[in-house]
């Protein structure tokens, strides 16, 4: 049988790691390491998986023309914009970040 102390010893590092990740995300303490960048920040937004020419035109209306612009965008503000799907914005930013982080 597993003791209460063993459970605590197992869960504390997980909880601390999760808390640190949340705090780092909220305070924007993370930075994309340049050595792992697959797509450059100044690359056209069409280089991101899921961004076709039509989507790029819509994003251009909101001054998003590069991958760097897309990653920095205020997702909530853009999702409220006319003609922009909230789920699509989150997905595109996620894809952009993933492609920038891949080896």
22 with 44, same domain?
A: no
47 with 87, same domain?
A: yes
What are the b/e assignments for 69-84, b being 16+ CB within 10 Å?
bbbebeeeebeeeeeb
pLDDT tens figures, 33-77: 554 557 788 888 888 877 888 888 888 888 888 888 888 887 777
Q: What CATH number should be reported for the domain holding residue 95?
A: 1.10.150.20
Instruction: List, in sequence order, every residue forming a beta bridge with 44; answer none if it has no partner.
Output: 66
- What is the residue range of 66's domain? 34-101
48 with 75, same domain?
A: yes
Total tally of structural domains belonging to the chain: 2
- For residue 103, what pLDDT band results from cuts at 50, 70 and 90? very low
> What per-residue confidence (pLDDT) applies to 93?
81
> What per-residue confidence (pLDDT) applies to 34?
55
> What per-residue confidence (pLDDT) applies to 37?
55
Express as a percent the part of the chain with pLDDT over 90: 0
């Amino acid at each position: 049988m597993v003791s209460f102390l063993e459970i605590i010893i197992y869960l504390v590092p997980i909880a601390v790691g999760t808390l640190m990740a949340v705090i780092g995300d909220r305070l924007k303490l993370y930075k994309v390491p340049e050595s792992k960048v697959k797509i450059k920040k100044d690359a056209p937004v069409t280089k991101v998986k899921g961004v076709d020419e039509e989507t790029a035109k819509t994003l251009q209306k909101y001054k998003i023309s590069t991958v760097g612009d897309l990653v920095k965008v205020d997702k909530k503000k853009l999702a409220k914009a006319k003609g922009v799907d909230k789920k699509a914005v989150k997905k595109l930013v996620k894809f952009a970040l993933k492609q920038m982080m891949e080896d």
